[in-house]
A and B are shown apart, each in its own frame.
Chain A
Amino acid sequence: MDFSFTETQGMLRDSLARYLRERYDFDSRQKMLAMPGGRDPAIWKAFAEELGILGAGFPEEHGGLGGGHVDHMVIMEELGRAIAIEPYLDTCIVGGGALLAAGGDHAATLIPGIIAGDVIIAFAWAEPKSRYNPARIETRATADGAGWTLSGHKSVVIAAPYATHVLVTARTGGASGERDGVSLFLVEAGTAGITRRDYPTVDGWMASELFFERANVGPHALLGAEGQAMGLVDELLDRATAATCAEAAGTMRRLHELTLDYAKQRQQFGQPISKFQVIQHRLVDMLMEAEQAVSMAYQATLRLDLRAAERARAVSQAKAKIAKGARFLGQSAIQIHGGIGITNELAAGHYFKRLTMLESRYGDQDHHLARLEAMMMAEAA
């Protein structure tokens, strides 16, 4: 058993943490949100060129640093601490994971682009009626001789407004809800027949509704075998979920620190409110949730390479636990801050908003508990 990080992972964490402290403080983030397009593209470029972190999880033969899930976890936790609005999860973890699984030309041409900060990938898996079930999709892809024609509506696609490529799930067969017949495509963002409605989210990200209206893509857009993508989609979503757990753990730790600092300096009834036992116990309960979130992020991350059922159990346990803890911690942080916590003026409120969205990203507590219960039912049968 060993929970220590490698030297490379330690350096990765230190350099990213330092960069974010210096360049991604609350005021800087607020300025980024107000920029045209809702972000500062120079930051992503700096991740590639100054920090060199975008290749952390790619094998050396593709120009990466040869790291794996733990490296992703380290990065996500730091991004969570800064409530950064950078598409590392979408591009490097999900997009990169899909490219590595596909191999071939795609991987050879696009992975260097990701590492250089030029290629940004968004993951379009959800639809208006899918809720958190990736098989409940109606977007269709039909073979048209020269390639594929895609039609359908993908919802709340994070990072789509500035992505260069979109990873899309679509049906090449079967009906909504069936696992057979789901295929995975990688399409260029500017493809004719794709229209976007871009918008900010309540937690400061940019996202799009994507409408495919007989969008024609080449034969190579299909990743993997036709109709057999659900295994890979599940794996990508489990990795995304584990990464979200790490991000949430970072956000929770930071929000707890901010709340503790505030409680120590806020004076009421002639003393800091941190002197009141009811506040102390709440701060302790928050700490316990934050620490368990970190533990669960480790647990899920370290089990990502197990076989599918064990991986799913690890990830869903982590997300179910963290979704509940994140809600408690976020609400407690606002309660301890009092009125000022409800305003946009302090960082705490923005951390709360982000945590609220992370609760349900890639499935809320109910979704992941249901997944665990389904496994139990299968055992009982």
Chain B
Amino acid sequence: MDLAFTPEERAFRDEVRAFIADNYPAELRGKQDEGEELGKEDMLSWHRILYRKGWVAPAWPTEYGGPGWSATQRYIFSEELARADTIPVLPFGINMVGPVIYTFGTPAQKERFLPRILSGDDWWCQGYSEPGAGSDLASLRTRAERVGDHYVVNGQKTWTTLAQHADWGFFLVRTDPAAKPQEGISFLLIDMTSPGVTVRPIITLGGEHEVNEVWLENVKVPVENRIFEENKGWTCAKFLLAHERTGIAGVARSKRGIERLKGIARAELDDTGQPLLANPFFRRKVAELECDLTALEFTELRTLAGEASGKGPGPESSLLKVKGTEIQQRITELVLEAVGQYGAPYFRAFPEGSNESPIGPAHAHRAAPTYFNMRKTSIYGGSNEIQRNIIAKMVLGL
């Protein structure tokens, strides 16, 4: 056992750090510092820079355009991205549908879709959840009927993140209504510009337009856009869920989040006028949170080491999801506590371009909306209750 990086790994870390410092767009940095909403082009700009460098898909095999890094290098890379507080690369193409396509797709599908996922030319969204199928995903009812060389798809999806920007979506649809819930599902790639696709915004508690409803009305989807066998889509879905959960621990981001929290708590004063971070109640909560994060970090490292030695991501990733999201949520709780009364003013009352700046210190503007919004993390990607069921069943054999 050895915690130290090798000289090669240290050199790699320096290379990554220098690249980010030299190439991260100043405009993006400015918008992040100002807390501005990021548009589609903002979100893609960093993706494209990483793509040109060949670093946009660290986990992909080299034959499909991955950099061929070790698990340790991937860890260093994600640490450095978080350390520099870069915007995250959107997961829907790179982390989700991409691995499904290179694992289950035909050569033609790989050739058609993978390069455009890497380059960012196609923006992807995920059509999984339905109004009646959340934690019980396999009860989904969106129907795809085979008519000659295409499917006709009808149904409604929900919680579709950033579908308003999407060129393509990957959808779970029911192709055999007579089969058991998990056996009649297929995995379809749908062109979001197809006639019959309607995207409607859902506004969440902080006022964000992040998620959408997607309505599918007689949408024609060529059979060649089906990944893997008909009625075997659940295999792809399960594979993807496991992939989604690695990295969901969000250790590096949470480290950055705690640094930010400490910065806020140094600037805020407690009831006696000393910095809040020096307040015995508050500093203890931050210390406890740091313990939790260290425990998560080393649990993730052990999982990574297991993966590096050939074990795929298993049910341990459910532990990472539960603890990771609890920590992410706790950070937002403490930020909201730290800003005190200035958590109340609603910053969206002062839209960008208005003559007036929002109320209170800049670090307070999004504290409450972010706290509200982050409640989603223990719900999405398989709720934390479902994750505990998975651990009970798969790890404990109950």
Bound pair: A and B? yes
Of the listed stretches A60-68, A80-88, A310-318, A333-341, name the one at the interface; the rest are far from the partner chain.
Answer: A333-341
Q: Mark B319-342, 1 if CB is under 8 A from A, else 0.
A: 000000000000001001100111
CB pair A131 B373 closer than 8 Å: no
Given known pairs A197-B359, A209-B359, A356-B336, the reply for A278 and B345 (CB within 8 Å) is: no
* B368 CB–A CB distance under 8 Å: yes
Give min CB distance, A374 to chain B, whole Å: 10
Of the listed stretches B8-16, B27-35, B267-275, name the one at the interface; the rest are far from the partner chain.
Answer: B267-275
Of the listed stretches B78-86, B108-116, B303-311, B375-383, name the one at the interface; the rest are far from the partner chain.
Answer: B375-383
* A322 CB–B CB distance under 8 Å: no
* B369 CB–A CB distance under 8 Å: yes
CB pair B359 A352 closer than 8 Å: no
CB pair B341 A344 closer than 8 Å: no
CB pair A366 B375 closer than 8 Å: no
Q: Mark A157-172, 1 if CB is under 8 A from B, else 0.
A: 0000000000000000
CB pair B350 A352 closer than 8 Å: no
* A367 CB–B CB distance under 8 Å: yes
* B205 CB–A CB distance under 8 Å: yes
In Å, the complex CA distance between A163 and B139 comes to: 53
How many residues does chain A have at the interface if contact means C-beta atoms less than 8 Å apart? 49
* B349 CB–A CB distance under 8 Å: yes
* B344 CB–A CB distance under 8 Å: yes
Which chain A residues lie closer than 8 Å to B369 at the CB level? 202
Q: Mark B198-228, 1 if CB is under 8 A from A, else 0.
A: 0000111111000100000000000000000
CB pair A366 B372 closer than 8 Å: no
CB pair B136 A269 closer than 8 Å: yes
Given known pairs A132-B271, A202-B344, A269-B136, the reply for A356 and B350 (CB within 8 Å) is: no
CB pair B344 A203 closer than 8 Å: yes
CB pair B385 A278 closer than 8 Å: yes
Task: List CB contacts (< 8 Å) of A319-373 with chain B.
Answer: 327, 331, 334-335, 338-339, 341-345, 349, 352-353, 356-357, 360, 364, 366-367, 369-370
* A292 CB–B CB distance under 8 Å: no
Which of A131, A156, A278, A345 has a CB less than 8 Å from the CB of B270?
Answer: A131
Q: Mark A28-53, 1 if CB is under 8 A from B, else 0.
A: 00000000000000000000000000
CB pair A370 B281 closer than 8 Å: yes
Q: Mark B262-299, 1 if CB is under 8 A from A, else 0.
A: 00000011111100000101100000000000000000
Most chain A Cβ neighbours within 10 Å, of B135, B345, B380, B388: B345
Give min CB distance, A22 to chain B, whole Å: 27
Q: Mark A187-223, 1 if CB is under 8 A from B, else 0.
A: 0000000000101111101010100000000000000
Which chain B residues lie closer than 8 Å to A131 at the CB level? 268-271, 340-341
The residue in chain A whose Cβ has the minimal distance to the Cβ of B358 is: A199
Given known pairs A278-B385, A366-B281, the reply for A344 and B345 (CB within 8 Å) is: no
CB pair B343 A202 closer than 8 Å: yes
CB pair B273 A356 closer than 8 Å: no
* B158 CB–A CB distance under 8 Å: yes
Which chain A residues lie closer than 8 Å to B368 at the CB level? 202, 353, 356-357
Which chain B residues lie closer than 8 Å to A267 at the CB level? 132
CB pair B380 A201 closer than 8 Å: no
CB pair A155 B341 closer than 8 Å: yes
Give min CB distance, B131 to chain A, whole Å: 8
CB pair B372 A342 closer than 8 Å: yes
* A256 CB–B CB distance under 8 Å: no
Which chain B residues lie closer than 8 Å to A201 at the CB level? 344-346
The residue in chain B whose Cβ has the minimal distance to the Cβ of A339 is: B159
* A177 CB–B CB distance under 8 Å: yes
Which chain B residues lie closer than 8 Å to A338 at the CB level? 134-135, 379, 383
Across the A-B interface, how many residue pairs have beta carbons closer than 8 Å?
Answer: 138
Q: Mark A264-277, 1 if CB is under 8 A from B, else 0.
A: 00011110000010
Which of A207, A270, A339 has a CB less than 8 Å from the CB of B379?
Answer: A339
Which chain A residues lie closer than 8 Å to B337 at the CB level? 360, 364, 366
Which chain B residues lie closer than 8 Å to A253 at the CB level? none
CB pair B376 A339 closer than 8 Å: yes
CB pair A345 B269 closer than 8 Å: no
Which chain A residues lie closer than 8 Å to B318 at the CB level? none
Which of B135, B336, B342 has a CB less than 8 Å from the CB of A156?
Answer: B342
The residue in chain A whose Cβ has the minimal distance to the Cβ of B159 is: A339
CB pair A199 B385 closer than 8 Å: no
In Å, the complex CA distance between A111 and B279 comes to: 42
Task: List CB contacts (< 8 Å) of B363-398 with chain A.
Answer: 368-369, 371-373, 375-376, 378-380, 383-385, 388
Given known pairs A200-B346, A268-B135, the reply for A133 and B271 (CB within 8 Å) is: yes
CB pair A268 B203 closer than 8 Å: no
CB pair A342 B134 closer than 8 Å: no
The residue in chain A whose Cβ has the minimal distance to the Cβ of B340 is: A131
CB pair A199 B373 closer than 8 Å: no
In Å, the complex CA distance between A278 and B342 comes to: 36
Which chain A residues lie closer than 8 Å to B279 at the CB level? 366
* A295 CB–B CB distance under 8 Å: no
Most chain A Cβ neighbours within 10 Å, of B279, B344, B380: B344
Most chain A Cβ neighbours within 10 Å, of B134, B202, B346, B368: B346
Across the A-B interface, the 10 shortest Cβ-Cβ residue pairs: A268-B136, A133-B271, A201-B344, A366-B281, A202-B368, A156-B341, A269-B136, A202-B346, A334-B375, A200-B346
Cβ contacts A to B, 23 pairs, < 8 Å: A129-B269, A131-B340, A155-B341, A155-B342, A155-B360, A177-B273, A199-B345, A199-B349, A199-B359, A200-B346, A268-B136, A278-B388, A279-B385, A335-B384, A339-B159, A339-B379, A342-B375, A345-B203, A352-B205, A352-B375, A360-B337, A366-B337, A370-B281
Contacts A339-B134, A339-B379 known; 12 new A-B pairs at CB < 8 A: A129-B269, A132-B340, A156-B345, A200-B345, A201-B345, A331-B375, A339-B211, A342-B379, A343-B204, A343-B205, A344-B205, A353-B205
